[in-house]
C-alpha cells in the first residue's frame, strides 16, 4: 500500500531545512547552520505544518539579535532574490521563507510597527505574508491600511496581491481581521484592474468571501467595475464568475441577472428518474427536458435534499449545465450521480430524499426517491 502523502514532511524535511540553514549561513557569518538543522529537525516530531513553522522560527530566533531592528536587518540580509517578476501566476515561493513574517509579528507588532511592515513588504516578494499582515491590521488598522493603499499600486505583483489576500474576510487557516468592506473595497477598486491573474484571482476570492455576508454589495461592486471599463472584458468576466460562484450555486437572483441569466422567464421542465429507490452506492440517473418561449441562456443546477438522523434533512447543490435553450426547441439533459457510501465528508442515511432542478436560480421541477 502506498505511503500516505504528508504535506508537512514534503515542505519541511532535511533538504529544505538544510537549504534554509545554508541561506542564513551565507548571509550571516556568525550563523551555525549545523546547529539550526539539528535543532529544527529534532523538534518536528508530531508537530503539524504551522506548528513546524513556529518551531523553526524559534530555532532561527535563537541565533539572531535580540533587538528587533537588528534582527530585521539580519532577516532581510538572508532573503533570497525576489520571485520571478516575469511570471504572472502560481508562483507561491517556499514555505520555509515564511519565518520573517512570524518574527515580525512576535517582535515588531507592538514597539516596531513601521520596521516590521517594511520587513513584511520585502518578505512577501519571496513568500506571501498574508497570515502575518493580519495582526497589524487588527492592532494598527489605519496605519497598516495606509501602507496597503500604497502597496496596491506597487510594481511587484506579489506586493499587490498581499493587499487583497491579506485583507480577505475569510482567508483559510488565517486569523480573523476586524475590517469592514468600507476599508477593503477601495483597495479592490484599484486591484480589480490589475493585469496579473495572481492578483485578480485573489480579488475574486475576496469578493466571494464578502458574498457570505453582503451579497448585494458584491453585485453592485461588479456592476460599477463593468461601467468603469478599467479591466479587459474577458478578465472581468472571469473575475465576475469566480467572485459570484457561491451566489450562483445558491441561485441568487441579482447575481445571476448580472451574468445575463434571467430568472423571470417561464421555463417548463420535466424530470424523470431511472427508478424510485436506490441503495447507497448506486448511481442515481435522471433526465430533464427544458423548454422556454424565447431563446434563453441558462445555468442549470440540481439540489438533493438528503435524509439525516432524527427526521432532519441536509441539502447540497450540484452543477449540471451552462447552456442555451433555443426558441421552440427542447433542451434535454441527463446526469448520473453516484450515491457514495464511502465519502469521508458527507455520510448518507436511508430514507426519503428529494432532487430539485434549478434553472437560473428558480426551482422548475422535482422528484422523490427512497434511499435504502
Between helix 197-211 and helix 181-191 the angle, nearest 10°, is 150
C-alpha cell of residue 330: 427542447
* φ/ψ of residue 307, rounded to 5: -75, 140
* φ/ψ of residue 5, rounded to 5: -65, 135
pLDDT computed for residue 2 by the predictor = 52
Q: Please provide the size of the chain in residues.
A: 372
Burial 76-105 (b: 16+ CB within 10 A, else e): eebbbeebeeeeeeeeebebbbbbbbbbbb
pLDDT computed for residue 1 by the predictor = 43
Query: Can you give the pTM of this predicted structure?
Result: 0.86
* φ/ψ of residue 240, rounded to 5: -65, -45
- Distances 296 to 247, 249, 302, 321, 325 between C-alpha atoms, Å: 20, 19, 18, 13, 5
Of 260, 179, 167, 169, whose CA–CA distance to 219 is shortest?
A: 260
pLDDT computed for residue 265 by the predictor = 84
Give start and end residues of each alpha helix (H) in the chain.
7-11, 14-27, 33-42, 49-61, 68-77, 99-108, 113-123, 134-139, 141-151, 157-165, 181-191, 197-211, 215-228, 233-243, 245-250, 253-258
| Full pLDDT tens readout for the chain, 372 residues | 456 789 999 999 999 999 999 999 999 999 999 999 999 999 999 899 999 999 999 999 999 999 999 999 999 999 999 998 877 777 789 999 999 999 999 999 999 999 999 999 999 999 999 999 999 999 999 999 999 999 999 999 999 999 999 999 999 989 999 999 999 999 999 999 999 999 999 999 999 999 999 999 999 999 999 999 999 999 999 999 999 999 988 889 899 999 999 888 889 999 999 999 999 999 999 999 999 989 999 999 999 999 999 999 999 999 999 999 998 899 999 999 999 987 778 899 999 999 999 999 899 999 999 999
Straight-line distance from the first to the last Cα atom of the chain, in angstroms, rounded to the nearest whole number: 32
Task: Count CB atoms within 10 A of the CB of residue 132.
Answer: 27
> Which residue segments constitute the domains of the chain, with CATH numbers given?
7-258 (1.25.40.290), 267-371 (2.60.40.1930)
pLDDT computed for residue 344 by the predictor = 77
Q: Read out DSSP for 311-328?
A: G-EEEEEEEEEEEEEPTT
* φ/ψ of residue 230, rounded to 5: -95, -10
Task: Count CB atoms within 10 A of the CB of residue 224.
Answer: 12
Q: CA-to-CA distance for 161 and 11, rounded, in angstroms?
A: 23
Determine the Cα angle at 177 with ends 176 and 183, to 5°.
Answer: 150
Question: Which neighbouring-strand residues pair with 304?
Answer: 316, 355
Contacts of 254 (CB under 8 A, 6+ apart): 215, 216, 219
Amino acid at each position: 500500500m502506498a505511503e500516505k502523502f504528508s504535506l508537512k514532511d514534503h515542505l519541511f524535511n532535511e533538504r529544505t531545512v538544510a537549504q534554509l540553514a545554508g541561506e542564513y549561513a551565507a548571509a550571516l557569518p556568525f550563523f551555525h547552520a549545523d546547529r539550526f538543522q539539528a535543532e529544527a529537525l529534532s523538534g518536528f516530531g508530531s508537530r503539524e505544518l504551522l506548528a513546524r513553522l513556529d518551531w523553526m522560527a524559534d530555532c532561527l530566533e535563537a541565533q539572531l539579535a535580540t533587538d528587533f531592528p537588528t534582527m530585521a536587518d539580519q532577516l532581510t540580509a538572508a532573503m533570497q532574490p525576489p520571485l520571478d517578476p516575469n511570471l504572472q501566476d502560481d508562483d507561491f515561493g517556499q514555505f520555509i521563507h515564511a519565518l520573517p513574517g512570524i518574527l515580525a509579528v512576535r517582535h515588531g507588532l507592538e514597539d516596531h510597527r513601521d520596521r516590521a511592515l517594511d520587513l513584511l513588504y520585502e518578505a512577501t516578494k519571496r513568500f506571501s505574508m498574508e497570515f502575518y499582515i493580519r495582526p497589524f491590521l487588527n492592532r494598527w488598522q489605519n496605519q497598516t491600511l495606509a501602507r496597503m493603499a500604497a502597496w496596491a499600486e506597487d510594481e511587484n505583483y506579489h506586493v499587490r496581491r498581499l493587499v487583497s489576500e491579506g485583507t480577505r474576510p475569510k482567508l483559510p487557516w488565517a486569523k480573523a481581521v476586524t475590517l469592514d468592506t468600507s476599508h477593503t473595497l477601495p483597495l479592490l477598486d484599484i486591484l480589480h484592474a490589475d493585469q496579473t491573474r495572481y492578483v485578480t484571482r485573489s480579488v475574486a476570492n475576496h469578493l466571494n468571501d464578502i458574498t457570505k455576508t453582503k451579497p448585494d454589495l458584491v453585485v453592485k461592486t461588479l456592476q460599477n467595475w463593468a461601467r468603469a471599463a478599467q479591466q479587459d472584458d474577458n478578465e472581468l468576466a472571469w473575475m465576475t464568475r469566480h467572485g459570484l460562484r457561491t451566489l450562483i450555486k445558491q441561485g441568487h437572483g441579482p447575481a445571476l441577472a448580472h451574468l445575463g441569466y434571467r430568472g423571470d422567464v417561464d421555463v417548463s421542465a420535466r424530470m424523470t428518474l431511472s427508478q424510485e429507490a436506490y441503495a447507497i452506492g448506486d448511481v442515481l440517473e435522471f433526465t430533464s427536458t427544458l423548454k422556454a418561449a424565447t431563446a434563453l441562456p441558462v445555468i442549470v443546477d440540481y439540489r438533493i435534499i438528503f435524509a439525516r438522523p432524527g427526521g432532519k434533512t441536509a441539502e447540497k447543490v450540484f452543477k449540471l449545465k451552462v447552456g442555451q435553450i433555443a426558441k421552440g426547441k427542447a433542451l434535454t439533459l441527463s446526469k448520473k450521480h453516484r450515491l457514495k457510501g464511502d465519502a469521508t465528508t458527507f455520510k448518507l442515511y436511508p430514507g426519503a430524499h428529494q432532487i430539485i432542478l434549478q434553472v437560473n436560480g428558480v426551482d422548475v421541477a422535482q422528484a422523490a426517491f427512497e434511499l435504502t
